[in-house]
Amino acid sequence: MAAEDLYELGLAKRKKVLGAQHVERSLEAASDFTRDVQELVTEYCWGAVWTRDGLDDRTRSMLNLAMLTALNRGHELGVHVRGAITNGVTEQEIKEVLMQTAIYCGVPAALESFRIAESTLSELRAADD
């Protein structure tokens, strides 16, 4: 598949999971220095991987929560908590994913992820009210 096609597929998937406003803000905020990495993420992460058959978006979201906890990537974790909710992952399932990470990734990493997830979920609930 051509790079342009993967980029367009990735852009659509990224907007579906993370929300069009978030993605548009990220792309608009890209500087000359960061534009290439934004395009790379959109084309390869979202276009080449997230659009593959084999795993549904819900499963991919839960995997991302676990991996981002393991890597201690809090900013990205908050973004992907929102994406997980969009993809149908329940708050209880998010909690269970993070409980699993406490054992396999370490309690400090899981505690930080719980704090970020709780804050993000609270923001989402407040926006729904």
Question: Does position 123 have pLDDT exceeding 90, yes or no?
Answer: yes
Q: What is the pLDDT of residues 10-46, one digit of tens each?
A: 999 999 999 999 999 999 999 999 999 999 999 999 9
Which residues, including other chains, have CB under 8 Å from residue 24's CB and lie 6 or more apart? 15
Q: What is the pTM of this model?
A: 0.91
Determine the average pLDDT of the residues in 87-105: 98
Mean per-residue pLDDT of the chain: 96
Q: Write down all domains in the chain, each with its CATH number in brackets.
A: 1-52 (no CATH), 55-129 (1.20.1290.10)
Question: Residue 2's pLDDT is what?
Answer: 83
Q: How many angstroms separate the CA atoms of 29 and 36, rounded? A: 12
Give the tokens for residue 3. 């790079």
